[in-house]
């Protein structure tokens, strides 16, 4: 697919067809994710892949609980694959304490913003874009803070790793339901370039 089509077609997809995803497509998403840029080439990202019904069920049980009626959850639960992206702050503090960077104090105040989260977000975008290129749908969403401990416990994730967001992956539903048309973009306009770009000054 043309790059511009990948960018234009990408939408968060919140309901999926009942078809398994080719494992090779998931591997390509992960492989592309590791092509993301990272500060100092620290690569402080990790990916927890859940691609069986049992593991996906464990994810939702840990992160969503057993709420009453929840159409969002009903749709998201149809995804056959969930990839949780996690950032690793310490990888950056260690990398930047190396001689070529020299931040031996490992002071977090040196960082303009937490690049470990930034880089993991860039990797997540490559997962989303690769899904589009594979003809699949995907949705990035956060793990609620009050569920992080349960998520860690369920999957044995050490404290040093922060879930930045999870990505559901699956085939687009045949009827197109949940493919973004009813999401926030239906109620909000995309901000035009004139509003967001400042040329030569603010």
Ligand X SMILES: Cc1cc2nc3c(=O)[nH]c(=O)nc-3n(C[C@H](O)[C@H](O)[C@H](O)COP(=O)(O)O)c2cc1C
Binding site for ligand X (CB under 6 A): 11-12, 14, 139-142, 165, 180, 183-185
Q: How far is the CB of 13 from ligand X (least distance, A)?
A: 8
Q: Which is nearer to ligand X, 40 or 180 (CB)?
A: 180
Q: Where are the alpha helices (DSSP H) in the chain?
A: 3-9, 23-33, 53-64, 71-76, 89-95, 115-133, 148-155, 193-196
Please state, in angstroms and rounded to a whole number, the distance separating the CA atoms of residues 143 and 157.
13
Q: Which is nearer to ligand X, 15 or 95 (CB)?
A: 15
CB atoms within 10 A of CB 121: 16
162 near 146, Cβ under 8 Å?
no
Q: Which is nearer to ligand X, 93 or 178 (CB)?
A: 178
Q: Give me the residue whose beta carbon is nearest to ligand X.
A: 141
Task: Dig out the tokens for 198 from the structure.
Answer: 């400042």
Q: How far is the CB of 106 from ligand X (least distance, A)?
A: 27
Q: How far is the CB of 95 from ligand X (least distance, A)?
A: 24
Q: How far is the CB of 122 from ligand X (least distance, A)?
A: 11
């Amino acid at each position: 697919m043309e790059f511009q089509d990948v960018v234009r077609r990408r939408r968060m997809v919140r309901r999926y067809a009942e078809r398994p995803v080719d494992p090779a497509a998931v591997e390509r998403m992960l492989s592309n994710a590791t092509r993301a840029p990272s500060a100092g080439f620290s690569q402080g990202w990790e990916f927890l892949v859940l691609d069986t019904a049992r593991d996906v069920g464990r994810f939702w049980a840990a992160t969503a609980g057993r709420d009453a009626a929840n159409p969002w959850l009903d749709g998201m639960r149809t995804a056959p694959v969930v990839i949780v992206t996690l950032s690793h702050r310490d990888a950056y503090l260690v990398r930047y304490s190396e001689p070529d960077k020299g931040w031996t104090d490992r002071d977090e105040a040196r960082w303009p913003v937490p690049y470990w989260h930034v880089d993991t977000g860039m990797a997540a975008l490559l997962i989303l874009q690769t899904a589009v290129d594979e003809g699949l749908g995907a949705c990035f969403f956060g793990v609620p803070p009050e569920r992080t401990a349960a998520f860690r416990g369920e999957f044995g994730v050490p404290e040093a790793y922060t879930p930045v967001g999870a990505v559901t992956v699956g085939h687009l539903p045949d009827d197109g339901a949940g493919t973004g048309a009813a999401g926030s973009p239906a109620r909000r306009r995309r901000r035009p370039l004139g509003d967001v770009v400042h040329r030569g000054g603010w």
